[in-house]
Amino acid sequence: MVIDNIARLLKNSKHAVVFTGAGISAESGIPTFRGANGLWSKYDPEEVASIYGFMRNPRAFWAFAKELIVKTKAKPNAGHYAIAELERMGIVKAVITQNIDMLHQKAGSRRVLELHGSLKYVDCLKCGKTYEWEEIISKIDDIKCENCGSLYLKPRIVFFGEQLPRDVLNEAIEEAKKSDLFIVVGSSLQVYPAASLPFIAKESGAKLVLINKDPTDKDWLFDIVVYGKAGEILPKIVEKVKKMI
């Protein structure tokens, strides 16, 4: 019944927006950050994920990145593909994500607003040379700029201590305001300002849906809450939408 209700909301929506967090990537094997087995139980975020830590010791970040991304060899899961399918159907107008792994694009999503940037490009902070991610991961154990020798090769992601890209955040806020259906997938909604987007959508009159493995402290905000894996729930919703159409 809940699946039917979400599918009906999607079918009747004029501007549906999907917001995703670490939970959907976890289903592709990428470790989450918080919780008993999260990366922050093994790494100090101040050391490996803040701009101050990076400037002190860039090698610490790259050791962390190796475990976070390279070792997992992550691929999109059924949840990513379901969201991309809804976009192809003309129902989902934008995907807003906190994730930096580019799995939405790999699944076929075209309009992806990356609030925290992505690993697609890496820049040398000393000489400005730009690398593509695939160039970097082949030498991740000994990273330095081939042009100037600097160790300060920084991916275009938002570290703690840095501001979100203003243009992307503004676009995400506009999408939240325009939405009549705002679906949050795999986020505990703990990190601001990203976590404010469902509130903005709600204030603008949107229906809110949460699909998450565990309860959050913001469940009360949502019209429909479903606990479970996005990779199992979202494909069922897509199939229901297709039958309704």
Q: Which residues are catalytic?
A: 116
Q: Residue 123 has what DSSP assignment?
A: E
Ligand-binding annotation for 30, yes or no, is yes
Ligand-binding annotation for 101, yes or no, is yes
CA-CA distance, 104 to 107, in Å (whole number)?
Answer: 5
CA-CA distance, 233 to 211, in Å (whole number)?
Answer: 8
Ligand-binding annotation for 79, yes or no, is no
Ligand-binding annotation for 213, yes or no, is yes
**CA dihedral (127, 132, 135, 141) positive or negative:** positive
Ligand-binding annotation for 124, yes or no, is yes
> Partners of 99 in the beta sheet?
none
Q: Which amino acid is at 63?
A: A
Ligand-binding annotation for 147, yes or no, is no
Ligand-binding annotation for 29, yes or no, is yes
* Residue ranges with strand state E in the chain: 16-20, 92-97, 112-114, 117-124, 130-132, 153-157, 181-185, 207-212, 224-227
| Cα 162 to chain centroid, rounded | 17
Ligand-binding annotation for 186, yes or no, is yes
Ligand-binding annotation for 28, yes or no, is yes
Ligand-binding annotation for 105, yes or no, is no
CA-CA distance, 35 to 55, in Å (whole number)?
Answer: 27
CA-CA distance, 158 to 149, in Å (whole number)?
Answer: 24
Ligand-binding annotation for 198, yes or no, is no
Write out the H or E segment, with its range, that includes residue 169: helix 166-178
| Cα 55 to chain centroid, rounded | 25
Ligand-binding annotation for 172, yes or no, is no
Ligand-binding annotation for 32, yes or no, is yes
- On the 0-12 / 13-18 / 19+ scale of CB atoms within 10 A, 150 is middle
Residue ranges for the binding site for NAD(+)?
Answer: 21-40, 98-101, 186-188, 212-214, 230
Question: From the annotation, which residues make up the binding site for Zn(2+)?
Answer: 124, 127, 145, 148
* Residue list, annotated binding site: 21-40, 98-101, 124, 127, 145, 148, 186-188, 212-214, 230
